[in-house]
Amino acid sequence: MNANEFSHLDAQSNPAMVDVAHKEVSLREAIAESRIVLPKEVVLLFKNQDILVKKGSVFNTAIIAGVMAVKKTSELIPLCHGLLIDNCQINIKLENEEAVITCKVTSFGKTGVEMEALTGVSVAALTIYDMCKSFSHAMVIKNTRLLSKTGGKSDFHG
């Protein structure tokens, strides 16, 4: 693959999978992050001790949605290879008015897992949106990005 070319377009510019038949298997890891700005009422509720269980339920639901989406990544992203996930850990914490979601994915295979990690944080963020939207629709999901990627031809640290 030439770094100046779209890996997912063939010579006629048609969409195409990357051929990994002859790539080595290695342990791949990727970590992605996304942030969602929560409605003020929700931030207040979550900071209140009494709401621990509610925050728990909202964040638990988002974590599960994220993990299930990680496993569905190749169904969602058209040219993404299917792979076997060895590990997926999603964490969500409150930073001021934002819920910060990180997703670490590990797989022993021929392709990177950055799309899986990015899909995991995206769907977890959408699930938080869904669960908090009775308070306000003015939430923004911002800065969905890759934090790191290791185990492939070249590492990435964002």
Minimum distance of a copy of itself from residue 18's CB (angstroms): 8
**What is the crossing angle of helices 114-132 and 52-71, to 10°?**
140
Give 21 or 96: the residue with its C-beta nearer to a copy of itself: 21
Nearer to a copy of itself, 98 or 109 (CB): 109
Query: CA-CA distance, 120 to 128, in Å (whole number)?
Result: 12
Rounded-to-integer distance, Cα 89 and Cα 13, Å: 36
Tokens 């790191």 correspond to 148
The question of whether 19 is a catalytic residue gets the answer no
Shorter beta-carbon distance to a copy of itself: residue 39 or 96: 39
Minimum gap (Å) between residue 109 Cβ and a copy of itself: 7
CB of 26 to a copy of itself, least distance (A): 11
The structure tokens 């669960």 sit at: 131
Q: Which of 19, 50, 86, 130 is catalytic?
A: 130
Instruction: Write the burial class of residue 63 (CB in 10 Å: 0-12 exposed, 13-18 middle, 19+ buried).
Output: buried
Q: Catalytic residue positions?
A: 130
